């Protein structure tokens, strides 16, 4: 199975120095750019379709947000 292009990390964390002077080896990737794009699409689309979403009429809402995010990542790579 191939990994879907998620655009990479949107808000990566950095390694930091601990109180005893050693480096903290952890690295937080944070949200992917795909997740951020989908979140923004959801925010805009939810405003337009809030009644349909609330009533359960519109069932592919999250899926469509990720489809839009994938399209944004594809366009961004050009």
Which pTM value belongs to this model?
0.58
Q: Please write the tens of the pLDDT for every residue from 62-77.
A: 888 888 899 988 888 8
33 within 8 A of 9, measured Cβ to Cβ = yes
pLDDT at 26: 64
Q: Please write the tens of the pLDDT for every residue from 8-66.
A: 777 766 666 667 777 666 666 678 888 888 888 888 877 777 777 677 776 677 888 88
50 within 8 A of 26, measured Cβ to Cβ = no
Structure tokens, 44:
């805009």
Structure tokens, 8:
């990479």
pLDDT at 54: 72
């Amino acid at each position: 199975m191939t990994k879907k292009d998620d655009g990479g990390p949107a808000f990566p964390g950095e390694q930091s120095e601990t109180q005893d002077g050693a480096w903290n080896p952890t690295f937080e990737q944070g949200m992917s750019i795909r997740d951020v794009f989908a979140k923004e699409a959801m925010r805009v689309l939810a405003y337009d379709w809030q009644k349909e979403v609330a009533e359960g009429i519109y069932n592919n809402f999250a899926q469509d947000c990720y489809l839009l995010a994938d399209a944004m990542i594809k366009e961004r790579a050009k």
